[in-house]
Amino acid sequence: MYADENVIRIKHDVLYEVAKLAFSGELDSKRDHIAFELIPGPTPQFRCCIYKEREIIRQRVRLAEGKAPGPEDDGNIIQVISSACEDCPISTYTVTENCQNCIGKACINACKFGAITPGRYRSHIDASKCKECGKCAQACPYNAIAHLKRPCKFACPVNAITYDEHGISVIDKSKCIRCGKCIHSCPFGAIGSKTFIVDVINALKSGKKVYAMAAPATEGQFGADITMASWKNAMLELGFEDFYDVSLGGDMTAAYEAEEWAESYKEGKRKVTSCCPAFVNMVRLHYPQLADCVSTTVSPMCAVSRLIKARDPEAITVFIGPCLAKKSEVVDQKIEGNADYVLTYSEIRAIMKAKDVTLKPAANENQIGSTFGKRFANSGGVTAAVLQSLKESEDEIDAKVCVANGAAECKKALLLLKAARLPEDFIEGMICEGGCVGGPSAFNDQFSSKKDRDTLIGEADARGIHENLQNYDMDSFSMHRHE
């Protein structure tokens, strides 16, 4: 990832200021003051002038409020902060100082669009004519033409990012799978996501029963001494009615998806998992012919939300995790009974900071999910849990599963399935490499947190999936999608 500390600091400062004003009830009257608080002047901190910096802050404030940064809103949760996006070159092919201004002019001869002209010292590429075919770079004997890739465009796994005539990046909502890879790849912090911070704070202030649900990927993110019990204590202090570990939802999803896999296997049908919303978006937007292959079992987030709402019909549920696409699952997929709001770790921490609430070490006692449910956050974890559930139900099948780890592997697997050449029976698709633990909004990278995560999970009870679910009334709600 390219996002450095300066970009992250600005983002977190804005989230904190918005959360603080939302709690005090002063957001409407002091919204415009945030830019002046963070950019007091008179000298700029990170751009050409304080006026541009303040406009960037204003657009970030709008995102923090759940709005589009500008006057137009296409409904996408991922948005370009136009005031911050301007310094990347429009043309991806640029003539460097290595150009010898040779007589042969191989670059000019190779271009079929008249985009290259000779200059006094070096050749020149006209960005308005360049078709980015790369023929000029291939022809140059001095390797003097460089291919410059915009970080956001290069990071996007589905080619959803282009740019307009002014060089501002444009995200095609019809292609974007909401994975968030572009956000942390931009060194200017010019792409962000809408947040539910204000909605959650207003719900907490209203006196309604608001429940927090933390993703299985949470364990290990904040150190070996920050357990799910630590999160529960902090969320109760913050004003939530109760807290749930969504690894329980992993058990629920595994049990019901196992039934679906067994039935499909016997019928000779292929299935793909439904727990990664970015993967589901990829299937529906880029491989619509395969939409019927998506499992009808809801995600762990939705499963726990439905459990809570079955117990308390007035409940408002809030999911906390490292995934931006979970916001899309709520906004775009509109599955009945799903979480009402989704917060990333940075967003919930901004809310906590505004109320002076911190995560404190606590005994690892709040274990409501099996180790299989907890491993749902890892690539291959869904497969392991489903196969375990089949084993426990004595309905084992000789299923072969393609564990697609990352967007590139997901695309390859889906192409094979589309062409009826997939050798496996099922696809477990995770757009983020490593699984949810490698999510774009993770607090700590998956490799640094692996040891702590393994320690915390290893301390869980060695319960089976079905044994664990006996403690819950699974007949009080449906585990299938109703869209």
Asked whether residue 330 is domain-assigned, the answer is: yes
Tens-digit pLDDT profile for residues 431-443: 999 999 999 999 9
CA 214: distance to chain centroid? 15
Asked whether residue 457 is domain-assigned, the answer is: yes
Q: How far is CA 432 from CA 142, 223, 292, 377, in A?
A: 38, 22, 23, 10
Supply the pLDDT for residue 3: 47
Count of domains for the chain: 3
If you average pLDDT over residues 400-417, what whole number do you get?
98
Partner residues linked to 317 by β-bridges: 211
Asked if residue 238 and residue 130 are part of one domain, the reply reads no
Supply the pLDDT for residue 99: 94
CA 90: distance to chain centroid? 27
Asked if residue 202 and residue 269 are part of one domain, the reply reads yes
Tens-digit pLDDT profile for residues 279-292: 999 999 999 999 99
In contact, 55 and 77? CB cutoff 8 Å: no
Supply the pLDDT for residue 90: 65
Q: What is the DSSP string of 180-232?
A: -TTGGG-TT--EEE---HHHHHHHHHTT--EEEEE-GGGTTTT-TT--HHHHH
Asked if residue 246 and residue 112 are part of one domain, the reply reads no
Asked if residue 31 and residue 107 are part of one domain, the reply reads no
Asked if residue 39 and residue 79 are part of one domain, the reply reads yes
Partner residues linked to 321 by β-bridges: 344
Asked if residue 65 and residue 125 are part of one domain, the reply reads no
Asked if residue 169 and residue 141 are part of one domain, the reply reads no
Asked whether residue 482 is domain-assigned, the answer is: no
pLDDT reading at 145 higher than 60: yes
Task: Say which amino acid occupies 202.
Answer: N
Asked if residue 163 and residue 128 are part of one domain, the reply reads no
Supply the CATH number for residue 50's domain: 3.30.70.20
Q: How far apart are CA 303 and CA 296, in angstroms?
A: 12
Q: Residue 395: which pLDDT band, with cuts at 50, 70 and 90?
A: confident
Asked if residue 132 and residue 186 are part of one domain, the reply reads no
Q: Chain-wide mean pLDDT for the chain?
A: 94
Q: How far is CA 120 from CA 107, 140, 373, in A?
A: 15, 17, 66
Cα atoms found within 13 Å of the Cα of residue 50, Cβ hemisphere only: 10
Secondary structure class of 274 (helix, strand, coil): coil
pLDDT reading at 1 higher than 50: no
Q: Residue 4: which pLDDT band, with cuts at 50, 70 and 90?
A: low
Supply the pLDDT for residue 91: 67
Asked whether residue 483 is domain-assigned, the answer is: no
Task: State the distance between the two ends of the chain, measured CA to CA, in whole angstroms.
Answer: 35
If you average pLDDT over residues 139-157, what whole number do you get?
92
Asked whether residue 72 is domain-assigned, the answer is: yes
The answer for residues whose C-beta is within 8 angstroms of residue 18's C-beta and 6 or more apart is 27, 34, 61, 64, 65, 197, 198, 350
Asked whether residue 481 is domain-assigned, the answer is: no
Asked whether residue 102 is domain-assigned, the answer is: yes
Alpha helices in 144-194 (DSSP H): 151-155
Q: How far apart are CA 398 and CA 395, in angstroms?
A: 10
Tens-digit pLDDT profile for residues 341-380: 999 999 999 999 999 999 999 999 878 999 999 999 999 9
Asked if residue 171 and residue 82 are part of one domain, the reply reads yes
Asked if residue 350 and residue 282 are part of one domain, the reply reads yes
Asked whether residue 60 is domain-assigned, the answer is: yes
Asked if residue 165 and residue 140 are part of one domain, the reply reads no
Peptide bond into 42 cis (omega under 30): yes
pLDDT reading at 452 higher than 70: yes
Supply the pLDDT for residue 254: 97
CA atoms 321, 68, 23, 210: torsion sign: negative
For residue 380, the enclosing domain spans: 198-476
Supply the pLDDT for residue 67: 97
Q: How far apart are CA 150 and CA 93, in angstroms?
A: 11
